[in-house]
Chains A and B, each alone.
Chain A
Amino acid sequence: MPVKAIVAKVDQQNGVMVIITADRQFRCLPLPDAVPSIGTTIELHLQAEKMTVRGLLNTK
């Protein structure tokens, strides 16, 4: 499910950025090719929650 996020920090040296998502997550993500600037609103597809993934793997 897509989620909106604000870019809160860009660390070009380590190739990562910190984002704050609309569902109140702070996440560290690898920088995309087009590096966004701080304050940019982006939309991304975050990995499904661990339990959901595990549930899918364990389902026969």
Chain B
Amino acid sequence: MNDSTALNLINLAQKGDCRAREKLIKLYKPFIQKTSFNVCRRYLSWENDDELSIALIAFNEAISSYNHVKGASFFTFAYGLISQRLIDYFRSEVKHKHRPLSSFNAGEEMELSLVECAQAWENYRLQIEREELVQTILELDQRLSEYGTSLDELADICPKHRDAREKLVRVAKVLCSNVKLLHTLRKNKRLPAKELARVAKVSKRVLENGRKYIIALVVIMSEERFSVLKDFTGLGEQRKRGCCHAGQSHSG
């Protein structure tokens, strides 16, 4: 099945066609399983693992909330949503594992085993998060190559001065908040310099010099799968404050 057929099915499902929804879920069960495997890093079976149920629900949610106008492909969007829901699930499980310890009245040995279990679960969760971060960074490098740049090149051209960086961050935020400009960038893989210079009120020279740095920032800010890096670099602050960009990266 190609992307346009999937898009047609998504449109039908969003209009209430249950058969289209079921067909999508049935066809993309392997995708759901593979995504869950990437997050959980272990083999999962439909019969025994709650993670797949969580992923299935997230996929169903992705069908309902996907908006192709935002630019991201459905599978990128679904991947992000499934990952997020699974991580939320792991976190809630960790909390759940901790809860009985304070109220547990059985023997000390049993309590110790619960502590060990919670510790092991926490270690497992950290390991999953680390592996996910590695995956995210590799995906970022791959995504940057689509725009003709790389992490190595960014290290060479990244502005050394804080003021210069902040100016380019501001430009990147302007670009992210403008759906039309963002769409043009994704389509042409080039900065819409003329329009961006006008909207962001900067000179074309600034854009030309910081072109690749801006693209890297936009990629990080506008795609849900890079949300870890967005938070780490403080680029997600605007969204937290409920600014104009709210919901951009969540809704595809």
Chain A positions near chain B (C-beta within 8 angstroms): 4, 6, 8-9, 18, 20-28, 37-39, 49-51
Chain A residue nearest to B172 in the complex (CB)? A24
Complex contacts, A38 vs chain B, CB 8 Å: 134, 137-138
Contact B233 A24 (CB under 8 A): yes
Chain B residue nearest to A40 in the complex (CB)? B130
B204 interface residue, CB < 8 Å from A? no
**Among B131, B158, B229, B234, which residue has the most Cβ atoms of chain A within 10 A?**
B158
B155 interface residue, CB < 8 Å from A? yes
Complex contacts, A4 vs chain B, CB 8 Å: 232
Chain B positions near chain A (C-beta within 8 angstroms): 130-131, 133-134, 137-138, 140-141, 151-152, 154-156, 158, 160-162, 165, 169, 213, 216-217, 229, 232-235
Complex contacts, B232 vs chain A, CB 8 Å: 4, 6, 20, 22
Query: Do A26 and B160 form a contact, CB below 8 Å, given A8-B137, A9-B151, A39-B134?
Result: no
Complex contacts, B160 vs chain A, CB 8 Å: 25, 49-50
Distance A25 CA – B141 CA, assembled complex (angstroms): 15
Partner of A8, one of B151, B161, B235: B151
Contact A24 B152 (CB under 8 A): no
Chain B residue nearest to A6 in the complex (CB)? B232
Chain A residue nearest to B152 in the complex (CB)? A18
